[in-house]
Amino acid sequence: MGKFKRFVDNNVLKELFLHGRKFTWSNERETPTLTKIDRAFVSVDWELDHPECLLQALSTEYSDHCALHLTLHEPMHYKRRFRFEKFWVKMDGFLDVVKEAWTCDPGITEPFMRLDIMLRNTARALAAWGQREIGNIKLQIAIANIVIMRFDCAQENRRLTEEERWLRRTLKQLVLGLASLERTIARQRSRITWLQEGDANTQLFHLVANGRRMKNYIPSLSMEGGTITDQKGKDEAFYNAYKNLLGKDVAREFMLDLEGLGVAHVDLSE
């Protein structure tokens, strides 16, 4: 076991999350002993090459172990999520965008629907605003690196002009700032809080975020009418569940005269 542990540590292997079962072995007695013996370990490079892999447990069949089934290309049809970037609040115009987008059609009276529409409007407005203000970070870094490389190659054959040196210096500062911003975004999405800035590279943050996405993936839902596996059916099931929890607006039989009770008005404009 010591040799195996050193092998895992030396090759920087990680365990794939197992869907469907907590344990993989049982002694199958009246009071069973349950343990997780069967596992799947992969390298970092392998995980990067197969981001859509899915590990599931099968039936034990005639054994006391359950077989593990690894799919390399599981179609995880997830919608592109809105991600709130923490650095947005430090930018000029953030509150104006939120205030302008937080609206809904007065004809829609159902509270759940109104909240859903206002959140969606705000998410779309913030995403568009962030794209206009920041743009595609990876593309900007790639373009800046190409221009810097051209100047580096030109410098081998001639002296750069003052304008060219200024542009190369400015682009290097831009790449440094964009790389720091990219690392901040990746760190936020990975939810790693115990690392100091600079203790790990952006690749680690992306791996943690991908691992969490794989762990949170729901292959199927068990409902009263059966099992739902298609993405559209799962979306509708979750939507209806939360809609039933929140309820809907109904007409009141009686109203309270707050002015008659002497309840003072409170300014809630802020």
Q: How far apart are CA 78 and CA 85, in angstroms?
A: 20
The pLDDT value recorded for residue 206 is 63
Give this prediction's pTM: 0.41
Q: What's residue 140's pLDDT?
A: 85
Nearest residue to 106 via CA among 98, 114, 116, 95: 114
Higher-scoring residue by pLDDT: 70, 204? 70
Per-residue confidence band for 125, with pLDDT thresholds at 50, 70 and 90: very high
Cβ partners under 8 Å of residue 26, min gap 6: 32, 33, 34, 35, 60, 64
Residue entry with tokens 């089934």:
69
* Position 189 pLDDT exceeds 70: no
Higher local confidence (pLDDT), 247 or 263: 263
The kind and range of the H/E element at 223 are: strand 221-223
Length of the chain: 270
* Of the candidates 64, 7, 4, the residue with the CA atom closest to the CA atom of residue 37: 64
Whether residue 193 is predicted with pLDDT greater than 60 in this model: the reply is no
Q: What is the pLDDT of the chain when averaged over all its residues?
A: 82
The answer to whether 22 and 37 have CB atoms below 8 angstroms apart is: no
HEC string for 252-267: CCCCCCHHHHCCCCCC
Lowest mean pLDDT among 68-77, 86-95, 169-178, 186-195: 186-195
Tens digits of residue pLDDT in 200-215: 556 666 666 666 667 7
Average pLDDT over residues 135-145: 85
Contact between 34 and 26 under an 8 Å Cβ cutoff? The reply is yes
Task: Give percent of the chain above pLDDT 90.
Answer: 11
The tokens for 136 are 């595609």
Which of these, 61, 71, 72, lies nearest to 24 by C-alpha position? 61
Which residue would you say has higher pLDDT here, 245 or 207? 245
CA distance 168 to 163: 9
Give the tens place of pLDDT for each residue, 4-38.
999 998 988 888 888 878 888 888 888 889 999 88
Instruction: Kindly report, residue by residue over 73-119, the tens digit of the pLDDT.
Output: 776 655 667 778 877 888 888 999 999 999 988 888 888 888 889 99
Q: 57 pLDDT band (50/70/90 cuts)? A: confident
Whether the per-residue pLDDT at 2 is higher than 90: the answer is yes
